Amino acid sequence: MTDQPLDSHAFRRALGNFATGITIVTAQAPNGDKIGLTVNSFNSVSLDPPLVLWSLDKRSADSLSVIQSADHFAINVLAANQLDLSNHFARPQTDKFANIDYSEGPGRAPLLDACAARFHCALHETIDAGDHWILLGRVLAFDDFGRSPLLYHQGAYSLVLPHPRVEKNLAAQATLPGLEKYLENNLLYLMLQAVNAYQTSYLPKQQALGLSVSEARVLILLSVIPDAGLERLQRESSLPGSEIREAVENLHASGLLESTTAPFSLTADGALRASEYWALSEQEQHKVFDEFNDSQIQLFKKMLNRVIQKA
Ligand SMILES: Cc1cc2nc3c(=O)[nH]c(=O)nc-3n(C[C@H](O)[C@H](O)[C@H](O)COP(=O)(O)O)c2cc1C
């Protein structure tokens, strides 16, 4: 801890350790002007009365005036497969709703389809808080669709996985005869356990190499697809455009990238760092799979790809 002024970049990065869901907040003014923006500052506040909050960057001044004249807004909590929607509403554009299906809720706030949940709110209070406004909403109604949510952690999109210890406890506490046997034969349970175990061992080693999650992902992608534009990088990295742009700036400032625009080329140092990340991933893969021969690995890949396509 220190009394020095905070390094805002490091502060943001530390805040990124707090995993959140992702929402799109929408509103429509009486004159038909609509706003929609990607927001991860959403949180619950009170059950009685039912209140929620989120914070709005003061640079989005138009959004504030639309919300205030609408006197309502909707919180659309995104489902795991709505990553493109999150990227779409995180980019300034003239008409964000041009190709988007939506219906209208209280105060004519746009409601998005196929979300995990939606909260229909009346504007309760606007609080001035530094470079953001805190908007409190009184929940008038809600929809609970129960879909698995999209998560955001350390600047990257993420998914919910059950914690392995919870799973193990469940198995240990099993009193029903045959439950453990059932879990042993349940392929979804085994796949989740496998990914959890792999990540638990791999991620700390990756982080120990020094770059943030987004910088590491962008660097290793650019080492194999240097011509990639923002859209391709978004698709391959599961990072929002703003994180990719920031990662590119940081990699350039650290002397790992020659430029901040495509086509990107890695500096000699950048190429060396990328090869360290590739080596780590190969080393981990080797450690886990070294007892299997090539044809078994090929079969495993084929099975995984079938699961990805079929499920
Ligand atoms: C994952 C993620 C979370 C975000 N959370 C917030 C937030 O809580 N509040 C905010 O004002 N902007 C947030 N943003 C940024 C806005 O989505 C972005 O600036 C958007 O373009 C604002 O809309 P506007 O340009 O129409 O004003 C977030 C962006 C991303 C990618």
Residue of 20, 40, 59, 150 to mutate, ligand 1, most atoms within 8 A of C-beta: 40
Please report the domains of the chain, with CATH numbers, ordered by start residue.
Answer: 19-152 (2.30.110.10), 162-310 (1.10.10.10)
Is omega for the bond preceding 49 within 30 degrees of 0, making it cis?
A: yes
Q: Which of 99-108, 172-181, 261-270, 278-287 has the lowest mean pLDDT?
A: 172-181
In this model, does residue 2 exceed pLDDT 60?
Answer: no
In this model, does residue 120 exceed pLDDT 80?
Answer: yes
Residue 9 alpha carbon to ligand 1 centre in Å: 17
To the nearest whole number, what is the mean pLDDT of the chain?
A: 92
pLDDT tens column, 45-83: 999 999 999 999 999 989 999 999 999 999 999 999 999
Under 8 Å between Cβ of 71 and 27: no
Taking CA atoms only, the protein residue closest to ligand 1 atom 24 is: 92
In this model, does residue 230 exceed pLDDT 90?
Answer: no
The per-residue pLDDT for 103 is 98
Contact 223 CB / ligand 1 (< 6 Å):
no
- The residue that leads in pLDDT, 110 or 308, is 110
3-state secondary structure 147-188: CCEEEEECCEEEECCCCHHHHHHHHHCCCCCCHHHHHHCCHH
Closest CA to 64 of 127, 138, 142: 127
pLDDT tens column, 12-37: 889 999 999 999 999 999 999 999 99
Taking CA atoms only, the protein residue closest to ligand 1 atom 19 is: 90
For the beta carbon of residue 311, count every other beta carbon within 10 angstroms.
Answer: 6
Contact 22 CB / ligand 1 (< 6 Å):
yes
Contact 38 CB / ligand 1 (< 6 Å):
yes
Is omega for the bond preceding 263 within 30 degrees of 0, making it cis?
A: yes
In order of 11, 86, 135, 151, 184, the CA distances from 18 in angstroms are 12, 18, 20, 11, 33
Residue 221 alpha carbon to ligand 1 centre in Å: 25
d(CA 302, CA 168) in angstroms, rounded, equals 28
The mean pLDDT value for 146-161 works out to: 93
Residue 164: which pLDDT band, with cuts at 50, 70 and 90?
low
Taking CA atoms only, the protein residue closest to ligand 1 atom 7 is: 39
Most confident of 7-21, 125-139, 175-189: 125-139
Residue 239 alpha carbon to ligand 1 centre in Å: 14
pLDDT tens column, 233-260: 999 999 999 999 999 999 999 999 999 9
The per-residue pLDDT for 18 is 96
Most confident of 107-111, 162-166, 185-189: 107-111
Contact 151 CB / ligand 1 (< 6 Å):
no
- The residue that leads in pLDDT, 230 or 118, is 118
Residue 194, burial from CB neighbour count under 10 angstroms (0-12, 13-18, 19+): exposed
- The residue that leads in pLDDT, 201 or 128, is 128
Helices (H), 39-79: 61-70
Say which residue the tokens 């709110």 belong to. 121
Q: What does pTM read for this prediction?
A: 0.86
Q: Tell which atom from ligand 1 comes closest to the C-alpha of 63.
A: 27
The mean pLDDT value for 288-305 works out to: 96
